[in-house]
A and B are shown apart, each in its own frame.
Chain A
Amino acid sequence: MTAAEQGAPAIMPPRPPPWRNPAVRGVIYQIVFVLAVLAVVAFFVNNTLVNLNRRNIATGFGFLSREAGFDIGEKLIPYTPADTYARAFLVGLTNTLHVAILGIVFATVLGTLMGLARLSSNWLVRKLAQVYVETFRNIPLLLQLFFWWGLLNKMAPGPRQAWQILPGVFVSNRGVAYPVPVGSPAYKWVVLAFVAGIALTVVARRWGIRRQAATGQPFRAEWVGLGLIVGLPVIAFFLAGAPLALDVPALQGFNFSGGSTMSPEFAALLIGLVVYTGTFIAEIVRAGILAVSWGQSEAAMALGLRSGQRMRLVVLPQALRVIIPPMTSQYLNLTKNSSLAVAIGFPDLVSVANTTLNQTGQALEGIAMIMAVYLFISLSIALAMNLYNRAVALVER
């Protein structure tokens, strides 16, 4: 028995008062929230200014152009204690990037191998990979870094009794000494041949795909590519006279000369980061491959694809879609975790900044710079990975 049924004129509901209007309320909530946040921030900023004033701490980034006065043990770019703080920061940043990039490459290789090993049909391989993952994933990274550092720096013998773990690779308390090829103009040609090989492979693959589409003739791009990418540099190497000389580290006096040397700190940090992050990457790779349903593999087999083709053409492209987002966050974690270098004395960005802020007392600026650098690295890796992720993402309708 509503009013409309009785023929009474439809009554417009009264306009709700403003405080009942969701849009108005939303605006009010936001203003209140922003004001509250601003009040807290203002409280901190005000206190900070008062405190800085009281303690006579200078503010601003003027200290960057002053002379640093401390030396840095490891550097990729020239640096002396007479250089500025800004230069010291740059040295720290290059050290951070150096260990992060090497760490990402090695952790990806180790993690992928271990992830595949955990899916192996071989019981022993599977169990060994599982023991690796379960052991190193469940121990704090910092403890592992201390362990490797203690092993390399304190437990390793002096250079005279160095452990030779591989021919020409020596581990002693001075670090890891390893051979490097003697520089020769031949290597320029080898690198050029390598690049040419990659370019030719891309061209050949395009042509192969077009021919297969036109005639149905398959083209084994992987074998042609392997021949071009490996074969061309090898030919270039022999044409240039095959300079096989290696600069092998040799004991001279109390230390090794020749070859190249990794400091115990760098080696410990790299090993720790790779072994720890490798466990997470192994789990991601395993989960990604398991996420591709078995039906896909069965369908590939029904089409008569060989097991290599099945992996390359059907399983991996789908698994990568699952693998890439968590893999990105592991790369970011590795980069952020490289800041633990400060605990074992490797001069990364945080360690250099820490020395700087102890010397200048300008904690605020030092920490702001560290945060800015890491945020920049994080956001750029995230952006690059998102672009790649978009390229491989599933296209639906």
Chain B
Amino acid sequence: MADIAQDIPVAAQAPPPRTTGMLGWLKANLFDGVTSTILTVACAALLAIAIPPVVRWALLDAIWHAPNGQACRGAGACWAFIGEKFRFILFGFFPVAETWRPVVVVGIFLLMIAAACNRRMWGRRLGILWLVGLMVVFALMRGGFAGMSRVETAMWSGLPLTLILAVVGMLLGFPLGVLLALGRRSKLPAVRAICVGYIELIRGVPLITLLFMASLMLPLFLPAGVTVDKLVRAQVAFVMFAGAYLAEVVRGGLQAIPKGQTEAADALGLSYVQRTWLIVLPQALSLVIPPLVNTFIGIFKDTALVIIISLFDLLTTAQTALADVNWQGFYVEAYVFVGVIYWSFCFFMSRYSQLLEREFNRGKRR
């Protein structure tokens, strides 16, 4: 019996073949059984058919420099078109001599977004930063002081316009959404009914009808002689739209707060406003930050719809660039360029929201 208990050194055996290393990975992930092998071969065949023509079109056969559209027609893409229209697609009708202004504006927006993504910045400081940032943005766009020429809102176009519509829509829509969500959860039936009616009405109709309404009917709604800037009208539609969608997100957070929290606040003798502002909202809002980011992505993508009321956002400037008689027919190039810009913003934000979600769920993860 004693020898059995003894430690007898045994030489370590190699792991079974084809379970580790490169071969093992291939076996487990690409050739695990008949079905998997067939799928792998089919996908590889599909890629082999699809990728070479795309690479040839976009890179090998592409024309990078050309004086005009005629000289740019070939088997491949015409990136010279983008080179030619680059400034117009990004900044539209903004005076060419002052292009630095919209460039700085886009830079400020990127900085503000970067600051908002840094969790150590969250809090009052961030709010002040955004307020100051937006004021600088408007001052730079509008000009009319310190030697900068005055630029009317009709000339604001391209990427800065898209960013302004999305960011202002979100910032002003957010308080509206919180109020609507609180109203929808209110114990007062009249308040609740009006809030539910507003939210369902706005969410039930396409954004495009709201934009039509803002551009065609807002002038009818206002007293005679009062005119509202076209950009402001579109912005109002975005705020109304964002408010209704954000209200549903915030409501999700309000519903997740256990009843004990409000009861405890009542027991402390807090008023409704104190209870909501100090106890309920801080908890509810921090729960819904990831879906708020997703809503923002949706609003950012939806700004493309302003083409329908002929505001010159990023997509409209691209369409306008396509109408140039000297450079006709480069649809795919223009849409790919604009698509990459939209995609980078949305992809970055959706990754950030996924990261937040993972971090917030760290305690719940097994």
A interface list, Cβ under 8 A from B = 26, 29-31, 33-34, 37, 44, 47-48, 50-52, 54, 120-125, 128, 134-135, 137-144, 146-147, 150-151, 154-155, 336-337, 339-340, 342-343, 350, 354, 357, 363-364, 367, 370-371, 374-375, 378-379
Q: How far is the CB of A275 from chain B (nearest CB, A)?
A: 13
Output the nearest chain A residue to B336 by Cβ-Cβ distance. A147
Can you give 8 A-B contacts (C-beta < 8 A)? Answer: A30-B190, A137-B350, A139-B343, A140-B342, A147-B335, A336-B206, A364-B220, A370-B209
Q: How far is the CA of A142 from the CA of B208 in the complex (A)?
A: 11
Give B contacts to A, CB under 8 Å.
28-30, 32, 36, 39-40, 43-44, 47, 187-191, 194, 200-201, 203-209, 212-213, 216-217, 219-224, 297, 301-305, 307-308, 315, 319, 329, 331-332, 335, 338-339, 342-343, 346-347, 350
A30-B189, A339-B208 known; 16 other A-B pairs, CB under 8 Å? A47-B220, A47-B221, A48-B217, A50-B223, A121-B36, A122-B39, A122-B40, A124-B30, A124-B40, A139-B343, A143-B315, A146-B335, A340-B305, A364-B217, A374-B204, A374-B205
A363: chain B residues at CB < 8 Å are 212, 216-217, 220
A51 and B224 contacting across the interface, CB-CB below 8 Å: yes
Indicate the member of A139, A150, A336 with the most B CB atoms within 10 Å.
Answer: A139
Pick the contact of A374: B206, B304, B307, B347 (CB < 8 A): B206
Residues from chain B with a CB closer than 8 A to the CB of A141 are: 301, 304
Interface contact B208-A34, CB-CB below 8 Å: no
Known: A26-B188, A147-B335, A340-B208. A44 touches B342 (CB 8 A): no
A154 and B329 in contact, given A340-B305, A350-B209 (Cβ under 8 angstroms): yes
Q: Which of A135, A142, A151 contacts B307 (CB 8 A)?
A: A142
Docked pose: A336 CA to B331 CA in angstroms: 26
Contact status of A150 and B221, CB under 8 A, knowing A33-B191, A125-B39, A336-B206: no
Considering only CB atoms, which chain A residue lies closest to B43 in the complex?
Answer: A124
Cα–Cα distance between A138 and B216 once the two chains are bound (Å):
30
Instruction: Name the contact of A140 in the complex, choosing from B217, B302, B347 (C-beta under 8 A).
Output: B302
Check A44 against B335 for contact (C-beta < 8 Å): no
CB distance from A124 to the nearest CB of B (A): 5
Establish whether residues B36 and A337, one from each chain, have CB atoms under 8 Å apart when the complex forms: no
Q: How far is the CA of A31 from the CA of B189 in the complex (A)?
A: 11
Q: Nearest 8 pairs between A and B by C-beta?
A: A150-B331, A138-B346, A123-B29, A140-B304, A30-B190, A378-B204, A339-B206, A336-B206
How many Å from the CB of A270 to the closest CB on chain B? 17
Contacts of B216 in A (CB 8 A): 357, 363, 367
> Is the pair A34, B194 in contact by a Cβ cutoff of 8 Å?
yes
Residue among B190, B205, B206, B304 with most chain A CB within 10 A: B206
Nearest A residue to B215, CB-CB: A363
B25 to chain A: closest residue by CB: A123
- Docked CA distance A31–B188 (Å): 10
Contacts of A128 in B (CB 8 A): 43, 47
For A125, the chain B residues whose CB sits under 8 A away are: 39-40, 43
Shortest B330–chain A CB gap in Å is 10
Q: Which of B28, B200, B217 contacts A367 (CB 8 A)?
A: B217
Please, how many angstroms separate the alpha-carbon atoms of A350 and B216 in the complex?
A: 14
